[in-house]
Amino acid sequence: MTLIRKYTGAFLPFIFIFSASMFRPYDGDLGWHLKYGEYFFKHFSVLRENTFSTMMADFKWANTSWLTDLISYFVFETSGFLGLTLLGALTVTLTFLFFSKAFKLDYFEKALIFPIIAYFEIPAIQVSFRGQLISILLLGILFYILERYQENKSKLIYLVIPLFLLWANLHGQFILGLGLFFIWEILYLFSVYINNRDNLSQFLKETKLLIIVSFLTLTATLIHPFGVGVYHDAFLHFGNENLKSIAEYVPFRESTASWWNQLIIGALISVGFLFIFFNGQLKKRFPVFAILGILYGLSWIVKRYAWSFYYLAIPFLKPLVYFVRPDSKKYTFMAATVLFLIYISFTAFIKMPLNQYRDMSWETYCSYYTQCSPKAAEFIIKNNLNKKDLMTVYDFGGWLIWNYPQIKPSIDGRMHLWIDKNGYSAFSDYYGYEQNLKDINDSSYNTIFMSKTKPLYNQLINEVQKGRWQLAYNDSVSGIFIRKN
């Protein structure tokens, strides 16, 4: 019976998380990620120039997710969309595993906390596998290492160095992890100093160690195909006006479900904080709580920070479990098991039919997610409209790059941060036309492939009525317009 309890407690929580994290891939950037991975396997070198779009052709940029692109391409080539679905679910499951081990959640605590975090994380995990999920997993590994070091001065702290070597090559969000690591070091050393003012030898010893680890960690991040350029690309995310047009880089809209989630978890953390404070455990939790406060503030400004914040909230949700925990260990185990069986059953029900993951295709990708139009792309190819004067939708760029290499999109999802040495931004140029802030008649485009969801589409319909443009192709999601001479 003890063995059954052991394995039930070890596996049931993660069976739930894995099943709950099963989503069909619909990342709008998937196509160009696959194309970068394909290029490496064909040429055994990292692609550095923009060869895929007509705007800012041959622009050189540091692809901070180059190693993730290799993984994505390999998995897609060997097992298709299903492989990416399973890889995404596995990445999320490992993330829960490391955060739960970092903050020592027991079986019953997992039963109450896991579904809360999984629900809040849906916006991040529902696009399935991508670099951001890897970043959050590596953040979980980082805090597992830091918690073990804080607890018993574990030599695991040296693993931070290879962790960031890998992270810097997998995803640009390593810069957030690096920042949180440095903040943690400062706060942790401050607490060591306060607790050892009469004997500073321990403080000096740990300060020396963490300075060495920090220096080697920074050095390790430069072991990268793009060298210091990886920092240039990462820092472009700060203060860039173009990010206001990207969904994850804007605040939560007031009174939406995500906005209320932020308020609710903020209230729960406050109660957990009071519990920790009055139980004299704040010294131990001070570095994580300070980091949590920083991320909470940032997540109100940029929602992308929320996905890391929710996981780091776990130690401040733990105390709340005390109020509903049964007194008996037997009933605690039984209650947790019943809850997980309910979660798994409910998850299995909402994930039906399961063949949707096996049968996922690019047609499904277009129909359900990005609203792209294969027939429109075929029309462009058939009528030889793929020229430099073709304007395509930003959201269609990655899909075109992978599926229709005969068509060079004007712009795609890589380019929102690109600025050349003359200060030119392709995204700013394009976005002005897409949103009908600039007159399309003044542009150099003579053919436009436009989604019906964009303001430019309605303006072009008006231009057709005025006799300036011709609607050459139209379907339920898009239209192709040709300028009349």
DSSP letter string over 50-118?
--S-STTTT-B---TTHHHHHHHHHHHHHHHHHHHHHHHHHHHHHHHHHHHHHTT--HHHHHHHHHHHH
- 479 lies in the same domain as 386: yes
Sign of the dihedral defined by the CA atoms of residues 246, 252, 258, 262, in that order? positive
353 cis-preceded (ω within 30 degrees of 0): yes
- 341 lies in the same domain as 442: no
Average confidence (pLDDT) over 390-408: 94
**Position of tokens 């290029």?**
39
**Position of tokens 């920090």?**
214
Tokens representing residue 63 in the block: 């692809």
Backbone angles phi, psi at 238, to 5 degrees: -95, 120
pLDDT class of 194 with cuts at 50, 70, 90: confident
* Contact present, 273 and 289 (Cβ < 8 Å): yes
* Contact present, 148 and 101 (Cβ < 8 Å): no
* Contact present, 414 and 56 (Cβ < 8 Å): no
- Residue 171: which of 141, 130, 140, 143 has the closest Cα? 130
More confident residue, 309 or 3: 309
User: Hey, how many other C-beta atoms are within 10 angstroms of the C-beta on 101?
Assistant: 15
- 106 lies in the same domain as 1: yes
Domain membership flag for residue 333:
yes
- 343 lies in the same domain as 441: no
Backbone angles phi, psi at 226, to 5 degrees: -105, 5
pLDDT at 361: 94
- 94 lies in the same domain as 3: yes
Sign of the dihedral defined by the CA atoms of residues 94, 99, 100, 104, in that order? positive
- 345 lies in the same domain as 458: no
- 335 lies in the same domain as 415: no
pLDDT at 241: 67
Domain membership flag for residue 125:
yes
Average confidence (pLDDT) over 142-156: 92
pLDDT at 278: 83
Kindly state the DSSP code that residue 437 receives in the 8-state scheme: S
* Cα within 13 Å of Cα(367), Cβ side: 6
The number of distinct structural domains making up the chain is: 2
- Residue 258: which of 123, 369, 127, 132 has the closest Cα? 123
pLDDT at 244: 67
Residues above pLDDT 70, as percent of the chain: 97
pLDDT class of 483 with cuts at 50, 70, 90: very high
Domain membership flag for residue 46:
yes
pTM confidence score: 0.93
Domain membership flag for residue 401:
yes
- 52 lies in the same domain as 116: yes
pLDDT at 255: 82
Domain membership flag for residue 191:
no
Q: What is the pLDDT of residues 438-450, one digit of tens each?
A: 999 999 999 999 9
3-class SS of residue 251: coil
Mean pLDDT score across all residues of the chain:
91
Sign of the dihedral defined by the CA atoms of residues 84, 90, 96, 101, in that order? negative
Q: What is the pLDDT of residues 171-186, one digit of tens each?
A: 989 999 999 999 999 9
Domain membership flag for residue 97:
yes
Q: Which of 335, 360, 385 is the last residue of a domain?
A: 360
Average confidence (pLDDT) over 311-335: 90
Q: Which of 360, 381, 410 is the last residue of a domain?
A: 360
Q: How far apart are CA 435 and CA 447, in angstroms?
A: 17
- 382 lies in the same domain as 331: no
3-class SS of residue 144: helix
pLDDT at 259: 87
User: Hey, how many other C-beta atoms are within 10 angstroms of the C-beta on 387?
Assistant: 12
Amino acid occupying residue 395 = D
Tokens representing residue 85 in the block: 């679905």
- 77 lies in the same domain as 120: yes
Q: Angle at CA 137, nearest 5°, toward 133 and 141?
A: 165
pLDDT at 253: 83
- 353 lies in the same domain as 464: no
Q: Which of 301, 335, 360 is the last residue of a domain?
A: 360
Full domain range(s) for residue 381: 371-483
Q: What is the pLDDT of residues 229-285, one digit of tens each?
A: 888 776 766 666 666 666 677 778 888 888 888 999 999 999 988 888 888 777 777
Domain membership flag for residue 113:
yes
Alpha helices (runs of H) in 240-281, residue ranges in sequence order: 257-278
Pairing of strands 447-451, 390-391: parallel
Rg (CA), the chain: 25
- 8 lies in the same domain as 100: yes
Domain membership flag for residue 116:
yes
